[in-house]
Chain A
Amino acid sequence: MKALTWHGKHDVRMDTHPDPGIVNPRDCVIKVTSTAICGSDLHLYDGYIPTMKSGDILGHEFMGEVVEVGAKSTLKVGQRVVVPFTISCGACYHCGKHQYSACDNGLPADNQDIAQTLYGHPMAGLFGYSHMTGGYAGGQAEYVRVPFSDIGPIVIPDGVDDDKVLFLSDILPTGWMAADNADIEPGDTVAVWGCGPVGLFAVQSAFLMGAERVIAIDHFPRRLELAKRFGAETINFEETAVYEALMEMTGGIGPDAVIDSVGLEAHGFFVDNIIDQIKVSTFLGTDRIHALRQAIIACRKGGRVSMPAVYGGFVDKFPLGAFMQKGLTLKTGQTHVQHYMPGLLNAILEDKIDTTFLISHHMPLDEAPTGYKMFHDHQDEYTKIVLKPGMN
């Protein structure tokens, strides 16, 4: 089969790999019908994520048709499914508490050593996202082996377009969990840093959870325009001083909850950001956290900080003083996708959440390397690329 394959920084290619098959009883194999490039794939593309190996297949937002099932899979050949990006067993203590991304058993035993050393504990496996997360082949491919297929993939009713449900795999539940983690109360003002896909879904989710106002912050006009469509007020940080604007817009109180959906590659030429960049490039630190700093400083006293953004290592100049003195609460984590999927599928089917607005481009899977370059270089225009195997 053909698959998008990582070879190094800014070097991804379409390579031929052996076809996947059933290995364990709970597996299934799917024929991919749609697979997206995620913002966090750009972290791999830019070489920020350790433990990548040349030849790894990328992709963790995908769906398709079941073509093969193991003896203990509950799926049937021919069913259409969306696959969660987290590989979770459904049987351990954490899965029992619906903390799926903290699954004990999603990672192969040998791969658990790295996460245990870095984070203190092994986490769930992830598709197509380095060997620290299991070394599982990803979904930007014609076929994928899906472990624990009896608890992960969600079956999609006939007649519902791929585009409507594809984002159940990652960014929709991630945006929803971001808002969920912000513990939104009716009447709240919520500020969202980063209007990428996760931020835009967080905007929609915050309103559905009762927020009165949502303020969206970015520097790409097209992304801010999308946020505005869902009722958000906007701040372009290249034109407006963010802290001052937030204080004026909230009568000096600050947002009740702040959501950082920017993550470890925050853009912009801020002094601390540039220092962070220097540290990253000289291996003194790994993550750049400008957005998170700004969010913590702006958040109202006693407010909530939600952090769906991906961080991998260590930071410095974390405003711990402001965080403590103001009595803030921080919630974060990789998304517990399996927990949110069924409710969000219903919300899509009932037209409560708009998902297709995000897609700017469809491309053949064969053109995935071009897709990465365009998504990387032209983020304002390319908000979301969906790759289609077999498309001409």
Chain B
Amino acid sequence: MADATLRSDDGPVAASKQDPAAEAKALFGDAHQQVTARSVTINKPVAEVYRFFRDFRNLPQFMENVVSITVADDRQSHWVVKAPGGKTVEWDAIVTDEAPDRHIAWESQPGADVPNSGRVEFRDAGQRGTVVTATITYDPPFGVVGKIIAKMFQREPAIQARRDLRRFKQLMETGEIATPAKNKQEFEEMGL
């Protein structure tokens, strides 16, 4: 992947100072405008972490904006995701590439409200557990204006990916997701 970037060093995509659009284009071609990648280390064996993530029905447990994922078969799934203004966006996704305990990639099918693709890599980190890197490319709705709106609502995927990965780590390591809510009612109001 490093060969495709616009830089001469080994710096990861998430740390790029380049124009994100140019970076995305170099990595994934013209189709997508934004790219975001984040890494987190989870103190669990890679097989356990992969198995949990591979069952997409588990993802809404820690992905704040994912309302539901319905799994049709091993490769096809339907995603319903929160969007700014109380709306939702939906798409069908298909698994395009997978290697157990190594990586999984998926892509939205034609007709998606927000065309996107994702790739999550899992690397055995020995005693430290598993390094999980999520790379998401997407086309922001309504161009620049949509992106500003999205940021206001904290639905911007870079922020979202970082927080979702932290929640994924919490769920895998502690069996629950940390919340300052004093009781169930406050938790319902706050969400994840």
Contacts and interface: CB of A to CB of B under 8 A. Distances in A.
Interface of A: 17-26, 72, 87, 89-93, 96, 104-113, 122, 125, 134-137, 145, 147-148
A6 B111 CA distance: 51
Interface stretch (B6-14, B145-153, B169-177): B169-177
A105 B175 contact: no
Interface stretch (B22-30, B68-76, B181-189): B181-189
Contact of A92 (B162, B173, B176, B187): B173
Of B41, B128, B163, chain A has the most CB atoms within 10 Å of the CB of B163
Closest 5 A/B residue pairs (Cβ):
A21-B183, A109-B166, A135-B180, A24-B176, A109-B163
A6 B128 CA distance: 40
B173 A24 contact: no
Interface string B60-97: 00000000000000000000000000000000000000
Contacts of A122: 166
B180 A134 contact: yes
A23 B179 contact: yes
A125 B166 CA distance: 14
B106 to A, nearest CB: 23
A105 B165 CA distance: 12
B114 interface: no
Given A93-B129, A109-B170, A20 B183 contact: yes
Contacts of A90: 174
Contacts of B2: none
A91 B43 contact: yes
B32 interface: no
A105 B178 contact: yes
A26 B175 contact: yes
B173 A108 contact: no
Given A25-B176, A90-B174, A109-B164, 19 more contacts: A19-B182, A20-B183, A23-B179, A23-B183, A25-B175, A89-B170, A91-B43, A92-B173, A96-B43, A104-B43, A106-B178, A108-B179, A108-B180, A109-B166, A109-B170, A111-B180, A125-B178, A134-B178, A147-B178
Contacts of A109: 163-164, 166-167, 170, 177-178, 192
A106 B184 CA distance: 19
A136 B180 CA distance: 5
Interface size class of B (residues with CB under 8 A): 20 to 34
Contacts of A112: 163, 166
- Do most interface residues of chain A lie in helix, strand or loop, or is the interface mixed? loop
Contacts of A107: 178
14 contacts: A18-B183, A20-B183, A22-B183, A23-B183, A87-B178, A89-B178, A91-B175, A104-B169, A108-B180, A109-B164, A111-B180, A125-B180, A134-B180, A145-B182
Interface string B31-55: 0000000000101000000000000
Given A93-B128, A110-B163, A105 B173 contact: yes
B174 A26 contact: yes
Contacts of A89: 170, 173-174, 178
Contacts of B128: 93
Interface in B80-130: 128-129
B182 A17 contact: yes
Of A20, A24, A107, A111, chain B has the most CB atoms within 10 Å of the CB of A24
Contacts of B177: 24, 108-109
A20 B186 CA distance: 9
Contacts of A147: 178
Contact of B174 (A108, A110, A134, A148): A148
Of B41, B43, B129, B167, chain A has the most CB atoms within 10 Å of the CB of B43
A90 B174 CA distance: 8
A159 B179 CA distance: 34
Contacts of A137: 180, 182
B176 to A, nearest CB: 4
B169 A105 contact: yes
B175 A18 contact: no
Given A18-B186, A21-B183, A96-B43, A108 B178 contact: yes
Given A26-B175, A109-B167, A110-B163, A92 B43 contact: yes
Contacts of B186: 18, 23
Contacts of B185: 18
B187 A23 contact: yes
Contacts of B169: 92, 104-105
A14 B162 CA distance: 37
A105 B180 contact: no
A104 B167 CA distance: 11
Of B166, B180, B185, chain A has the most CB atoms within 10 Å of the CB of B180
Given A91-B43, A93-B43, A109-B192, A20 B182 contact: yes
A37 B192 CA distance: 31
A89 B166 CA distance: 13
A135 B175 CA distance: 21
A93 B173 CA distance: 9
Nearest to A20: B182
Contacts of A19: 182-183
